[in-house]
Each structure stands twice: as C-alpha cells, then as structure tokens.
Copies of this chain bind each other. A is one copy, B any other.
Amino acid sequence: MNDIAASASAETLTPAEVDRIDAWWRAANYLSVGQIYLLDNPLLREPLQRAHIKPRLLGHWGTTPGLNFVYVHMNRAIRQHDLDMIFVTGPGHGGPAVVANTWLEGSYSELYHDVSQDAEGMRRLFRQFSFPGGIPSHAAPETPGSINEGGELGYALFHAYGAVLDNPELIACCVVGDGEAETGPLATSWHSNKFLNPRTDGAVLPVLHLNGYKIASPTVLARIPRAELESLLRGYGYRPHVVEGHEPDAMHRKMAAAVDTAIAEIRTIQRAAREGGETGRPLWPMIVLRSPKGWTGPKEVDGRKTEGSWRSHQVPFGEMDRPEHVRLLEDWLRSYRPLELFDDGGRLRPELAELAPRGERRMGANPHANGGKLLHDLRLPDFQAYRVDVPTPGGAIAESTRAMGRFLRDVMRDNPDNFRVFGPDETASNRLDALFEVTDRTWMAERRDDDDHLAPDGRVMEMLSEHACQGWLEGYLLSGRHGLFSCYEAFIHIVDSMFNQHAKWLKVCRDIPWRRPIASLNILLTSHVWRQDHNGFSHQDPGFIDHVVNKKADIIRVYLPPDANTLLCVTDQCLRSRDLVNVIVAGKQPEQQWLDMDAAIKHASAGIGLWEWACSDQDGEPDVVLAAAGDVPTLEMLAAIGILRDLAPQLKIRFINVVDLMTLQPREEHPHGLSAAEFDTLFTRDKPIVFAYHGYPWLIHRLTYRRTNHDNLHVRGYKEEGTTTTPFDMVVMNDLDRFHLVMDVATRVPALQAQAAHIKQRMRDRLCEHKQYVHLHGEDLPEIRDWKWAR
C-alpha cells in the first residue's frame, strides 16, 4: 500500500494552494455545522444566542468533514486535470457536505434560487436542513450532483460503476463509508472492477473513508491491521493509496498527491487499453482516507472525548439551553474563521470561489448526475417484427421470453452504447440468449477457450448477485441510459429494499423540476413460481408484486402478459416509458399462444379485456365471470372453460384476461385503474367471479375491495404450497388447477346447482387420477401435458 506521506509527490501543492484548499474546506465545514445548528445569525455577525439555534437539532456531523475534504480535493483535481467527474456519496447522512460544497461552487443556487449565494441565502441554507418543508439529511434526490441516497447503505460503488459504463471520459469519485463497507452489497461490489472495460467505460475512484465508527461501535475495516486491510483491497483487485492523519496541512498535501497519483494511474490504464491494445484486467487505483470522525469538531464535550470518537456521529452536543454549550458552538464555528472566508454580503471570497470548476465540470452541475439531461430515446425496432404466428387461439407453441429475447437482441444491436441487460447468470437460462448473437457477457477477468460468450466489451452483465444487477442498472439509468434486469421471480426479493429506495427516489423526483425524467427500471421476472417445480419450494415466491404495489401508484406498473405477443407489446411499452418501475412477469417454458399480434396490441393497450373466443355469453349476461392474470393461470382457466363446455354446455361464461394488474384498482388509486363503470361492465355487478391469479390471492382482494361486485369475487393463487414436483402438480397443490377451478364454478353458479355434485365428483376423480400417475411416473399425465385449446 503506498503511503503517500512517504512519497516525494507530496509536494504537489504550493503553500498558497494548501491555504486556499484549506480555506474552502473550512468554509464547507462551517456551512455544515451551520446547517445542523443555526436558524439565524449565519455569519456570526453578532454573538451567538440561544434564539439563533434550532429548537430541534438534527443531523450527523461525524462523516461530514471527511466528505468535505474529499470534495475540495476532487475540485482541485478536476481543474488541474480537466476531469469530467461525479461525486457519489456513500456514507449515511452526508447531505450537509454535498449541500455545502454545491452552494460554495454555485450549482446549488442555480437550482434553488431562493438559497442564493449571499447572507440571506446562507440563512436559508442553514434553516432548511432537516427542517419541515426543507431538505433531508442524506445526499438525496434534492441534492445537486447526487445519484445515491445515503439512507440505506451499501449501494454506492454499484451506482458509481453503473454510471461510468459506456462513459469513457467519466470518473466517478465514490466515497465509501467504513460503516457502509460492512454491508453485504458493498462487500461484493468491490468486484465490479471485473466488469469494467477500460477501453469503453470510464473509471471509478473509490475513496474508502475510515473514520473508525458507526453509531456506537467501531468499524471492522478500521480495526484490522493495516497489512490485512491492504491485502483485502489488493485481493479485491485495487491498488490502494493511503492518506492518514489529522493535521490539516499535511493531510491536504498527502491527499493531493494521492489523487494526482490515482488520476495518473487511471490515465495510464486507459491509454494502455485504448491506444496500446491492452486487453487484460488492470489494477485500478483507490484511496484509503483515514481521518478522525467528526474531524475539526470539538475535541471534548462536557469532559468526554468527541472528535475522533463515536460521540461525534450525530449532533455532537445538544442541550442548547446551557450557556456553555452555546459558547462551545460559537467557538467551534469561529474556529473556521468565517470572516476570512465570506465577505460582508455572505459571498465566498472571490479568490476561494475560483477554486471551483466551471459550468458542468462542477460536480453539482455534472449532467451525468441528472441523467435525464443526457437521455436519448432508444432506437427501437418495430416489435411486431418479432411476432409469434398465432393462426388460432392455442394454435401455436412458443417460449414467450425467447420471442422477447429476439426483440432485445435487436434493441441491443441498435443501441450499442445506450442499453444493457443485467441478470445473475440467467440470461440464457431465461431464454434471452438471442442477445448473444450480437453481444457477449461482460468479463474482464481471465478468459478460457471453452467460455461461453465472454468479452470485455460484452453488454450483458451477469454476476451471481441480484444486488449487483440492480445496483449497476440503477447507476446506469440514473446517469441517463436504458436497461433491463431479468431475474428468477423468487430471488428478486433479495433486492426488495433496493427497489424501495429507487421507487422512493423516483417519487421524490416527481416534485423536483430540475430532475429530468430518466428511463424506467424494467424488471423481467421469469422462471416464475409455477415453473419452479424442479427447483423446489425455496424457488417459489410470487410476493414481489405485493411488495411493489405498496409504493406510490404513479411510479409502479405490474404486467402479467399471458403469451409471447402480449409480452412483446408490454416490453416495447416499458422500454419507451420514463420514471417508472415496470415489473413484467412472464414464463420461459413452451406454452400455447393465444393472441395474434393485432389482438395482442389491443389487449396490451387496454391492459384488461374479454377474450371473446373463450366466452359464451355473447347473447346476454353471463352466468359466471372467469378471470385470469398470468400465463399459467390463463392456461388453467382456459382448460377449465374447456371442461365446463363439455359438462355444462348451456353455461354462459365470460372470460377476462388481465395483463396490466393495476387496471383492477380504482382509477382514484392508480392512473391505470378502471373506472367504476368500466369495472362493473366487465365484471358485472352481481355475478359470481372466479379469478385465477399468478401470485398470492389476497392481493386481488386488496386491489378490488372497493369494487361493486367484490363480495362475489373468489380468487385462487399461490398459497405457499410447493415442493419439487411436476408443473401441473404445482397448480394442484395450490388449488389453481383446471379441476379445482371447475369445482369453484360448480359451487358458486346457481345455474349449475343441479349438476354441481356430479361435476365436483368428476373433478375429484380426475385429481385422483393425476396424483396416482404423477407419483408413479414422475411426470404429468399426457392428456394434461398435451392439452390444447379448441373451440
């Protein structure tokens, strides 16, 4: 590990430069303390009084001075080396630092005119922080230059790597807190360097900030021997440069030297790859910054060590009714010598302001961190060209995701630097392998002859980490590009909380005019619950949909296309959309196809509709409404209709298929929701409804409990029964099979009363026969496997 202290290059800075950098740092620290504590008297023109201090003190000082330190040094480097750089703030509650620096550089006031670069603006800057109607304590969507919320920790490096993909000139300086570094996602995200191509991607400069403490405990990485830490970081594939200490002047010199070294190494790596034809994986530089927690804060509070201790994690001291605490705060603030930093009007002195980069080179104004500014529409081929030929309903067999894969292949071909596909090693398994006709899997680590489509410039990113897939994609989207994450349905729960945070980010952005729309986060859930019969109970979980619909209605969409052509329509729609999370659930197994392309377009546009060819209520009101959402439920319901036709040909059946789940909600709840009249027209006001649903059945009740006919709604779905068995046995275990559905109809339809007992006995016999066959042969009855819809 290069200790920059010992390096000759420590003479990067002249004493005057050190002074100016230190002045900026003091200014940022001053503004950070002000945000946490002050309501008024921002420039301390009068002696500090209790009334100038917020009644309720919120905020986190501990990480802030370190972030300020990194920021000013990156500013220097941007100017010195003409860098295009963004700042990814990993540590939690780092908001005050980024807000302070962007205010100093001017980008803050350009976006928030009322927080101007003067004394009144500074007063507002202070007041708004963690204040009702103000701004949060994290580097949130409201924060200029941010693409990573420091609320839920662990994703900073993924976001940074995602942002620099296909951005060869961009450098993401990513500060990783040593608390955050303990999380699982962060621990594996260091390996992102095996997926970064120095020829066509930019660079990430990680700054591991060891300030030693979390809330109360020390951090693991700060308490292992230095040699062990070095070994770990080298093992992750980095070349670490250490900047350690607490004396400001020396630290500025060391940091400047470390940054210059790292930038030089990045340039060398990129030149070798871009001009020298180097194709191996480089060891990228990184910086380890070890500085005291709450650096430059009060050494002691009430006789207890504070700077360099866990005690400075949040607000280092409160109880501001104690005059000695007011004095302590005033002394602390004045220790930054504000009069040297700001003129009488509260403006940063011009010689300091010059330190900031210009225009979009300011990290608070870099368009990569407001990706919508750079967003180009995808060049989308006509999705109809990938149609599956469906001469009659049920008259074709296809794997839905394979058709989607051919579409995605050409999207990939036509958008060679603006679109990527992510998945935990399941792209081919999920039948999207047509992609490999035009690209490869991204891979910078060692390659061997027998490998399957690996290349440094591959654009399909596979790592056995759903966190990586989601995190990289988020970074890629937030910086203005497009993508898709394909995942086994059960294991998408691994990123439940990442989805939460992204959905919250999008929701907040709706109210921030300067945040431009970005491409939607598209998640394909295939290898879904009903066809995980071979992988067993642990692979069977359709609950992500339930999780998704708890988020704001105008952010989330859920699609359950029943066949390939509908899936193509939905995919096209999702790839064109903005600022949403689109969840698509679609199977990968060979299944009957229902709709030709024209019918699919009509159906997908409406999101819900009658399939007339499966209905027998053309001449009036139905006796029963049968509905299905999802490919397997659709198949079973149609098979049930086939049985009912034989057993009760007089029965008037209406069949409804739901592709856009949110149509079920009242329009007041979701923009795609049907009006009450539309819903009643479809589902009737009083007829029995049997609904076959892909996931947990109660979700349909939760969406429809306000609907007129809800009392007559009976839903079948996954009720958490499963194991390693056959596909049909899976639906039987959950009462979602054709035979149970027929029994449900027989039980509920008055017109069938006379026949009900007979029908139910027939169905029970069929179920018996099924169980016997399956337990004997280990596969489904041929008549079930080979069942075909026929009018």
Report A's interface with B, CB cutoff 8 A.
39, 54-56, 58, 127, 130-138, 140, 149, 151-154, 179-180, 182-189, 191, 194, 214-220, 223-225, 228-237, 305, 309-310, 425-429, 441, 443, 445-448, 450-452, 454, 462-465, 467-468, 490-491, 493-494, 496-497, 500-501, 504, 507-508, 534-539, 541, 543, 546-547, 550-552, 696, 698-699, 701-702, 705, 710, 720, 723-726, 729, 774-775, 777-779
A281 to B58, CA, bound (A): 37
Known A-B contacts A448-B218, A491-B497; A188 and B191 likewise in contact (beta carbons under 8 Å): no
* B539 lies within 8 A of A543 (CB): no
3 smallest CB-CB distances across A and B, nearest first, come from A232-B235, A151-B538, A184-B184
Q: Nearest-CB distance from A593 to chain B (Å)?
A: 24
A720 to B427, CA, bound (A): 34
Known A-B contacts A56-B726, A705-B701; A535 and B235 likewise in contact (beta carbons under 8 Å): no
A622 to B132, CA, bound (A): 38
Known A-B contacts A214-B464, A228-B234, A493-B497; A136 and B445 likewise in contact (beta carbons under 8 Å): no
* A231 lies within 8 A of B235 (CB): yes
Known A-B contacts A232-B235, A235-B228, A441-B217; A132 and B535 likewise in contact (beta carbons under 8 Å): no
Residues of B with C-beta under 8 A to A182: 188, 191, 463-465, 468
Specify the chain B residue showing the minimal Cβ separation from A449. Answer: B305
* B140 lies within 8 A of A538 (CB): yes
Contacting residue for A445 out of B223, B305, B445, B507, CB 8 A:
B223
Specify the chain B residue showing the minimal Cβ separation from A178. Answer: B464
Residues of B with C-beta under 8 A to A149: 538
Contacting residue for A537 out of B55, B136, B425, B775, CB 8 A:
B136
Q: Nearest-CB distance from A544 to chain B (Å)?
A: 9
Specify the chain B residue showing the minimal Cβ separation from A224. Answer: B445
Residues of B with C-beta under 8 A to A441: 217
Residues of B with C-beta under 8 A to A427: 216
* A779 lies within 8 A of B184 (CB): no
* A463 lies within 8 A of B56 (CB): no
Contacting residue for A188 out of B152, B184, B448, B696, CB 8 A:
B184
Q: Nearest-CB distance from A594 to chain B (Å)?
A: 26
Residues of B with C-beta under 8 A to A490: 152, 497, 500
A334 to B648, CA, bound (A): 56
Contacting residue for A547 out of B188, B216, B538, B546, CB 8 A:
B546
Which of A183, A185, A464, A705 has the most CB atoms of chain B within a 10 A radius of its CB? A464
Residues of B with C-beta under 8 A to A494: 152, 496-497
A interface majority secondary structure: loop
Specify the chain B residue showing the minimal Cβ separation from A730. Answer: B132
* B131 lies within 8 A of A537 (CB): no
Residues of B with C-beta under 8 A to A465: 182-184
Known A-B contacts A134-B724, A496-B497; A534 and B58 likewise in contact (beta carbons under 8 Å): yes
Q: Nearest-CB distance from A254 to chain B (Å)?
A: 23
* A310 lies within 8 A of B214 (CB): no
Residues of B with C-beta under 8 A to A136: 536-538, 723-724
What 7 new A-B contacts, CB under 8 Å, besides A55-B778, A131-B725, A133-B774? A54-B778, A132-B726, A183-B188, A194-B224, A232-B234, A493-B497, A698-B702
Contacting residue for A179 out of B184, B425, B450, B467, CB 8 A:
B425
A234 to B696, CA, bound (A): 46
Residues of B with C-beta under 8 A to A539: 151
* B729 lies within 8 A of A132 (CB): yes
* A778 lies within 8 A of B131 (CB): yes
Which of A137, A184, A223, A539 has the most CB atoms of chain B within a 10 A radius of its CB? A184
Specify the chain B residue showing the minimal Cβ separation from A133. Answer: B775
A68 to B459, CA, bound (A): 37
* B464 lies within 8 A of A180 (CB): yes
Q: Nearest-CB distance from A310 to chain B (Å)?
A: 6
* A536 lies within 8 A of B138 (CB): yes
Residues of B with C-beta under 8 A to A701: 701-702, 705
Q: Nearest-CB distance from A466 to chain B (Å)?
A: 8
A591 to B765, CA, bound (A): 61
Specify the chain B residue showing the minimal Cβ separation from A219. Answer: B464
Specify the chain B residue showing the minimal Cβ separation from A719. Answer: B552
Residues of B with C-beta under 8 A to A448: 218
Specify the chain B residue showing the minimal Cβ separation from A553. Answer: B720
* B425 lies within 8 A of A216 (CB): yes
Contacting residue for A220 out of B131, B184, B445, B493, CB 8 A:
B445
A779 to B131, CA, bound (A): 8
Residues of B with C-beta under 8 A to A153: 464
* B536 lies within 8 A of A216 (CB): no
* B223 lies within 8 A of A229 (CB): no
* B218 lies within 8 A of A451 (CB): yes
Contacting residue for A224 out of B135, B180, B237, CB 8 A:
B237
Residues of B with C-beta under 8 A to A464: 153, 179-180, 182-183, 214, 219
Q: Nearest-CB distance from A12 to chain B (Å)?
A: 29
Specify the chain B residue showing the minimal Cβ separation from A427. Answer: B216
Q: Nearest-CB distance from A492 to chain B (Å)?
A: 8
A633 to B443, CA, bound (A): 52
Residues of B with C-beta under 8 A to A777: 55
Residues of B with C-beta under 8 A to A223: 194, 443, 445-447
